[in-house]
């Protein structure tokens, strides 16, 4: 086993030199008011200003945006997803010639929606570029949609007594805006499938909450079978809600947790991620959903942004020059204790080949019996333990920084897919250690007054590997200052500039940044979302 692991680690370390992603298995309108979201989206169709000559000279290829991004997505199904090994986001609407250009590892032309056609919701800016040869195709995927959530009307399926009418037309549903970045590894199939379907899973999870979220009263502990009524089975009396409760039972009945509306949305997003991961597992063969993907999504609903991250992509808010982190990366280092605890509870998952203990370095045979620094699942600090033969197994977590790996295989610990991923040349499955549950951060737009330069930036790790949060903020602010506040194409230009600066310029020694350091050789995808919403500034 040690020979197999050493071989795998050698491939991992060698692959990193070319700018490879640490994930890749080496063996294989916003508006200030909350009411804005419940109205149908109105997307601008006006043509934006032409792209500057400076941007055109920087190998930027703009492409058309999808007209379907303005439509409500009520008829789509969670079972609809195209099959195929290579595709780009639908809203780009690439022609065959543009598709070839987007797939060129040599020129690495930046792709963006063309401003001469209907724009993305919220005047969102988007840009992407393919990797420098790390993988056959661009394994990033993206989605930007306005989605209608139709209320789940159980009366339609369980008709009640005569005289009970359906809901009024205005209360049948609500809209949410959705953005998603999916950074694939070991193939793009899982990322493509998630980009096409995850927002429908979120929609379905929200259907029971349409009335609850629009009601200012606390959410009910239990849902009835029908709206505003209790449907009972024949010959059974309805539950007497006002019945007298025994005195000795009052303390127990009054101990109820207060559940917020926001937590219901968070739970819906978390369950949607689980459903998406289950669907990938069940249909990965028929849909060619190979590999796995990190997922970073944003839902705007009733005045709040819900930023959900499972992986190592990142989101930040830039408000009045201040940087507000909206996500954190999930890697073997950041999730060390969770991974170690699982290995401790279920040692059979380690395959008798790994140890859940962490040591500063690999242990040599001659060091058995000596005391060495270690830490386990309960420790943040370090202590000494006497080395035993069992400690010679390969560590569950090994390496640090971008070279940190779990089971010598993968550099991220949350995401979708990876159901067939195994340790190199073994039968040890890695999926039990990977979590599909995102961490969700909430940003309340109604608590602040936002100016046209306040944005939410989403990026895959190809951006953040070479560009710091402060550098991203500086670039965005500089670009936006060069355009009029009501110019909607300014956000696309900001996204393009972020991608171009992180990619760098092709020189004799590869892609180089302005400071001559290595540029990003990974796929790069970026959304720039205006916090004030489109058309709100004069």
Q: How far apart are CA 307 and CA 180, in angstroms?
A: 10
Domain layout of the chain by residue ranges: 90-151+173-215+260-330+437-530, 335-411
Q: pLDDT per residue over 14-43, tens digit each? A: 443 334 445 545 444 333 433 443 333 333
Q: Check: pTM over 0.75? Answer yes or no.
A: yes
pLDDT exceeding 90 applies to what percent of the chain? 63
Cα-Cα-Cα-Cα torsion 120, 126, 132, 133, nearest 10 degrees, comes to -30
DSSP label at residue 64: E
Instruction: Measure the CA–CA gap between 92 and 63, rounded to whole angstroms.
Output: 6
Q: What is the mean pLDDT of residues 166-185?
A: 79
For the segment 282-337, what is each residue's pLDDT rounded down to a tens digit? 998 888 888 999 999 999 999 999 999 999 999 999 999 999 999 999 999 999 99
> Quick check: 108 and 130 in contact, CB under 8 A?
yes
| pLDDT, tens digit, 9 for 90 and up, residues 411-457 | 999 999 999 999 998 999 999 999 999 999 999 999 999 999 999 99
Q: What is the pLDDT of residues 227-263, one digit of tens each?
A: 443 333 433 444 444 445 555 555 555 667 889 999 9
Percent of the chain whose predicted confidence (pLDDT) is above 70: 73
| pLDDT for res 289 | 85
In the predicted structure, residue 458 carries a pLDDT above the cut 50 = yes
Q: Are 26 and 424 in contact (CB under 8 A)?
A: yes
Q: What is d(CA 326, CA 345) in angstroms, rounded to the nearest whole number? A: 32
pLDDT at 348 over 80: yes
Is residue 274 over pLDDT 80? yes
What CATH superfamily is the domain 90-151+173-215+260-330+437-530?
PPM-type phosphatase domain (3.60.40.10)
């Amino acid at each position: 086993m040690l020979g197999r692991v050493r071989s795998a680690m050698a491939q991992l370390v060698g692959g990193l030199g070319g700018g490879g992603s640490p994930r890749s298995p080496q063996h294989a309108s916003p508006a200030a008011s909350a009411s804005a979201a419940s109205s149908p989206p109105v997307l601008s169709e006006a043509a934006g200003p032409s792209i500057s000559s400076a941007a055109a000279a920087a190998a930027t290829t703009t492409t058309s945006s999808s007209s379907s991004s303005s439509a409500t997505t009520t008829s789509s199904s969670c079972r609809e997803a195209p099959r195929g090994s290579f595709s780009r986001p639908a809203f780009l609407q690439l022609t065959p010639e543009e598709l070839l250009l987007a797939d060129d590892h040599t020129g690495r032309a930046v792709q963006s929606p063309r401003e001469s056609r209907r724009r993305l919701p919220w005047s969102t800016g988007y840009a992407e570029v393919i990797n420098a040869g790390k993988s056959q195709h661009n394994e990033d995927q993206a989605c930007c949609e306005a989605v209608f959530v139709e209320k789940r009307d159980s009366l339609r399926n369980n008709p009640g007594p005569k005289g009970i009418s359906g809901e009024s037309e205005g209360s049948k549903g609500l809209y949410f805006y959705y953005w998603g970045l999916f950074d694939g590894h070991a193939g793009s199939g899982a990322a493509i499938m998630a980009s096409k379907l995850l927002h429908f899973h979120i929609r379905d999870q929200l259907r029971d909450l349409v009335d609850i979220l629009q009601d200012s009263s606390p959410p009910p502990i239990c849902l009835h079978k029908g709206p505003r009524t209790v449907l009972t089975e024949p010959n059974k009396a309805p539950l007497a809600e006002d019945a007298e409760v025994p005195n000795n039972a009052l303390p127990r009945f009054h101990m109820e947790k207060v559940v917020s509306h926001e937590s219901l949305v968070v739970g819906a997003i978390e369950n949607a991620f689980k459903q998406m991961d289950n669907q990938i597992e069940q249909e990965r063969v028929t849909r060619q959903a190979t590999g796995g993907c990190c997922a970073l999504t944003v839902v705007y609903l009733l005045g709040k942004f819900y930023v959900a991250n499972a992986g190592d992509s990142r989101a930040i808010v830039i408000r009045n020059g201040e940087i507000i982190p909206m996500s954190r990366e999930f890697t073997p280092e950041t999730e060390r204790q969770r991974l170690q605890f699982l290995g401790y509870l279920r040692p059979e998952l380690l395959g008798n080949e790994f140890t859940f203990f962490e040591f500063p370095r690999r242990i040599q045979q001659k060091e058995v019996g000596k005391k060495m620094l270690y830490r386990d699942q309960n420790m943040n600090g370090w202590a000494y333990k006497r080395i035993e033969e069992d400690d010679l197994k390969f560590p569950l977590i090994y390496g640090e920084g971008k070279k940190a790996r779990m089971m010598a295989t993968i550099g991220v610990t949350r995401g979708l897919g990876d159901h067939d991923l195994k340790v190199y040349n073994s039968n040890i499955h890695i999926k039990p250690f990977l979590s599909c549950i995102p961490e969700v951060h909430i940003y309340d737009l109604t608590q602040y007054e936002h100016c046209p330069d306040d944005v939410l930036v989403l990026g895959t790790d190809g951006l953040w590997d070479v560009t710091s949060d402060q550098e991203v903020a500086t670039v965005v602010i500089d670009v936006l200052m060069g355009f009029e506040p009501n110019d909607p194409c300014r956000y696309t230009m900001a996204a393009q500039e972020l991608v171009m600066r992180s990619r760098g310029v092709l020189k004799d020694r590869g892609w180089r940044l302005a400071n001559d350091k290595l540029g990003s050789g990974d796929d790069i995808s970026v959304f720039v979302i205006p916090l004030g919403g489109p058309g709100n500034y004069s």
